[in-house]
Every structure is written in C-alpha cells, then in structure tokens.
Amino acid sequence: MNPKTPKLPELRLASPAPLWTHGWYRFAHQHKSPNFGPRPEGARTDLVVVHSISLPPGEYGGNQVQALFGNTLDWSAHPYFESIRGLQVSAHFYIRRQGELWQFVSADDRAWHAGASHYRGRSNCNDDSIGIELEGLEGEPFEPEQYETLVSLLAALRPTYPIRYVAGHEHIAPGRKHDPGAGFNWQAVQRGTGWEARSFPSTVQI
C-alpha cells in the first residue's frame, strides 16, 4: 500500500435487534397488564395454551380486550360486561382478526389465563405456559391472517423457550372451558410449524 494512501475506516454492521428483550417480543404491540406474577422457581415453560376471546362475545374490532387485560374496562358499557365485573385476567399475547399481534405480559412471567387446569401430568398451567388469545368466538372459524401470526409467533418462541406442547384451553380445563373450539384448525398450525403430532392434543386431528 502506498504510505500516502489514507486507511479506510473499518465498516461495522449494526447488530440486528433481538427478537426478545426480557420476555417481550419485538414484533408485538405492547400493552402491559398489571395481572401477572413470577413463575415458580424451576418452572419449565414448555406449553402454549390457545384461547379465543371477543368482547362482547362475537363482536370484533374494538379495544375491549385490551381494556379487560389492563383493568380499565368500563363495566357499564355493555350488559354482558356486568357478568364479568371485577374479573382480573391476562394473557401473554392476543392476535386480532387481521393478524395484528399484541403482548400484555412478558413471556418470562406468569400470566393469568389458564385458571384451574391440568395437562401433561401437571396442574396449574399458568405456572409454566404461555397463553395466546385469538380474537374470535369459541367454535367459530378463525382468519388465515391469525394462523399466519400464530405460526410465526410459535416459531419465534421455540428457540428461546423450551416449548414442546400446544393445547387449547378446552384441553387443559375440559368441561370448564370450550375454547378455541371446533372452528380452530389444528392441522393448519401443525403444517405451518412442522412440529410433530405429539406436540398437539391427542384428541385433535393432525
């Protein structure tokens, strides 16, 4: 090199932003819920629980679910809300009809979505599961965009958390809960993820 030739500065590419920061997913809208707590010591987060929710039931597009999980729902805004007045619940994620993703609780923490439950030989599924709500009515079909977001989220979760199973609320609390119901396409989730059939409930067709 000619000693008079100036040395070019070293080019350094910026590191990509991480997908997860303390349990918060980069590609989700954040709306932090106060309804959460720490996971028990030694908990192994290996289960995803799929739910369905709409407020009021069967009505879509509003912000009532966000308000419910944030403890700001106006109980007097609809007659149905009186039946759940004072309810304090949350989920980690919420997927709207058009596929938009929201997050309410860090995946590192315990959300309040499962209630009394039992699955893969363990009770109290809130302790070691991640709850995902789909905007919809139990038993009714869901939108293709919701499956796309769900599959993408599952793919992002598995390298960071030891996810081995996916089940519906109906499978971890049979008889008490019935969501997401018959309208949920388990085959679409299995095809999209490529996960083995044993990752899904034995009672669903894969």
What domains are there in the chain, each with its CATH number?
32-197 (3.40.80.10)
E-assigned strand segments in the chain: 20-21, 24-25, 29-30, 36-37, 47-53, 93-95, 101-103, 110-111, 118-119, 122-123, 129-135, 165-168
Angle formed at CA 169 by CA 27 and CA 114, multiple of 5 degrees: 80
Structure token pair of residue 186: 């388990």
What is the identity of the amino acid at 85? R
Residue 150 has pLDDT above 70, yes or no: yes
Rounded to two decimals, the pTM is 0.92
- Alpha-carbon distance of 184 to 141, in angstroms, equals 6
- The residue-averaged pLDDT of 56-83 equals 97
Cα distance between the two ends of the chain: 64
Summarised one tens digit per residue, pLDDT across range 104-138 is 999 999 999 999 999 999 999 999 999 999 999 99
Q: Which residues contact 3 (CB under 8 A, 6 or more apart)?
A: none
The rounded radius of gyration (Å) of the Cα atoms in the chain is 20
- Residue 160 is classified by DSSP as T
The string of pLDDT tens digits covering residues 182-199 is: 999 999 999 999 999 999
Kind and range of the H or E element at 191? helix 186-193
Which tens digits make up the pLDDT trace of 11-62?
565 667 799 999 999 999 999 999 999 999 999 999 999 999 999 999 999 9
Q: Which residues are catalytic?
A: 133
The neighbouring-strand residues paired with 97 are: none
| Helices and strands, counts by H and E, the chain | 4, 12
Judged against a pLDDT cut of 80, whether residue 3 lies above it is answered with no
Q: Is 163 left (phi over 0), alpha (psi -120 to 50) or beta?
A: beta
